[in-house]
Amino acid sequence: MRTSEIVEKVLKHIEAEEVSEIGKILTELHPADIVAIIEALPPQYRVEAFHTLPTDIAADVIVELADEPLDTILTHIDPKEISGLARKMSSDEAADIIAGLPPEDRAEVLSALPLEESSKVKELLKFPENSAGGIMDTKFTSIFKGMTVTKAVDLLRESAPEPDELYYVYVVDSDSKPTGYVTLPDLLLASPEQSIESISREFPDVVRLEDDQEKVASVINKYDLLGVPVVDDLGIMKGVVRIDDAIDVMEEEATEDILRMGGADATESVFTPTGRSVAKRLPWLYINLVTAILAAGIVGLFTKTISAVVTIVVFMPVVANMGGNAGTQTLAVTIRGLALGELTLRNTWSFVLKEAAVGVLKGLAVGFVTAAVAFLWDGNIVLGLVIGLSLVINLFVGSLVGVMIPVTLRRMKLDPALASGVFVTTITDAVGFFSILGLATVFLRYLK
């Protein structure tokens, strides 16, 4: 059955107040499918549907919900219930949920947890949400490097960990510093008396508690690992970040890049309610309004030229628009190159030169065609030349700022996608208006 059909069924039962029926439908599904159903429900019904779930399933569901549906549900269930859910979660999941609560509820939820669990969660809450410490799981399986294979296998059998705690078995020394990992196949295929040290594999890179989550995800992705150990300043192992967390980070970062490049707030989603959407987008629009008025101010300098040659107004937006689009092309390639680590300190300079050349060539190609169109429109060859030349200038500048702005933002340790679309189009608007109107003013006597 498709999600939308299940949603219709659930809605019918909600309207008929047949709560137990909803529970029956939902609990038969995979938690990931329940998440999809709850997110697809109108906001006012999400809490009711969520409440039909047994605690263990509810815990699996709530940790996977998107921000907005999660907020709605958290504000409608009481702290005791949240503690009940948190008991069924790993400590990093519990910390994520508790971090989203108002401070007064946090204390109440924490105090209702078992002491060991609540101190673990408190420890995790100290790390920034986007750091390795903020996303790591403190539950992992480790063995001492001096053990034999038999001893290690016996230990694993005793502790009976969850499968996802066994992607890797982490090997540590006597100071609890990670020295490598073994996989279960390694253990299964080794001879019983071999030492763990002799079959252990090295980690190609280490992750520290304070490292940015983006770095953690890129280490896992680059080296095709299923997990990496997270260490503190002394090199002691504090937790692990696993591949499924890395995937979530990569999705989050791609979302941020797309939203920021589009001049929207990085935290918005389809589920954001109207008022909050407006509030999140207006600051960017106001910034953009200021820059747009500044660019338009340039037009104000040339009202005499405009009165004399009104046709120029027709081509003014073409020049501005084409420069903006050419710049945005470069911007997209640059932002993605930075995100994937393909654009490094080493090759930035040659990439800038390349984009400058690409800009001129695009400008010549577009300028020639537009000049011809302008000549056909107006019959004035000089008008064609003015428009063609201003396109070359603007497409060159567009390409150049399309690469310079994100690269500069990255050097300043800011997100390269941060409103860079707005910066690029403002500059190409300004340069576009200035070059076409400036050139028209210079050649005014041939245009009238």
Touching a second copy, residues 152-191 (CB under 8 A): 153, 156-157, 160-164, 166-167, 183-186, 188-189
Give the count of residues interacting with a second copy (CB under 8 A): 122
- Taking residues 95 to 134 in sequence order and writing x for each that binds a second copy by CB under 8 A, - otherwise, the string is ----------------------------------------
Which of the residues 38 through 67 are near a second copy (CB under 8 A)?
39-40, 42, 66
Residue positions counted in the chain: 448
* Shortest distance in whole angstroms from residue 130 CB to a second copy: 18
CA–CA gap between residue 180 and residue 209 (Å, rounded): 18
Rank residues 109 and 417 by Cβ distance to a second copy and give the closer one.
417
Q: In this structure, what token pair is assigned to residue 338?
A: 């930075």
* Other C-beta atoms lying within 10 Å of the C-beta of residue 117: 17
Query: What does DSSP say about strands 169-172 and 142-144: parallel, antiparallel, or unpaired?
Result: parallel
Write down the residue that tokens 């709530």 correspond to. 62
Which of 86, 326 has the CB closer to a second copy? 326
Considering only residues 6 to 25 of the shown chain, the ones binding a second copy according to CB under 8 A are: 7
Q: Tell me the CA distances in angstroms from 216 to 141, 178, 262, one per residue in order.
A: 19, 16, 26
Q: How far is the CB of 284 from a second copy (least distance, A)?
A: 7
Nearer to a second copy, 172 or 335 (CB): 335
Integer-rounded Cα radius of gyration of the chain? 29
Q: How far is CA 295 from CA 261, 292, 427, in A?
A: 20, 5, 8
Tell me, residue by residue from 254 to 273, as one string, x for binding to a second copy by CB under 8 A and - for no binding: xx-xxx-xxxx---xxxxxx
Asked whether the beta carbons of 395 and 363 are under 8 A apart, the reply is yes
Which residues are within 8 A (CB) of 9 and not within 5 positions of it... i.e. 6 or more apart? 25
Closer to a second copy by Cβ: residue 222 or 411: 222
Q: Of 52 and 370, which CB lies nearer to a second copy in the complex structure?
A: 370
Site string for a second copy, 357-396 (x = CB under 8 A): xx--xx--xx--xx--x-----------------------
For a second copy, the binding residues in 417-436 under the rule CB under 8 A are 421-422, 425, 429, 433
**Rounded least distance, CB 212 to a second copy, Å:** 17
For tokens 């589009």, name the residue.
Answer: 262
Cα–Cα distance, 405 to 417 (Å, whole number): 9
Segment near a second copy (CB under 8 A), from 45-53, 108-116, 121-129, 349-357?
Answer: 349-357
CB of 436 to a second copy, least distance (A): 12
C-beta closer to a second copy: residue 52 or 329 = 329
Give the helix/strand (H/E) hosting 49: helix 43-51
Distance CA 423, CA 405 (A): 8
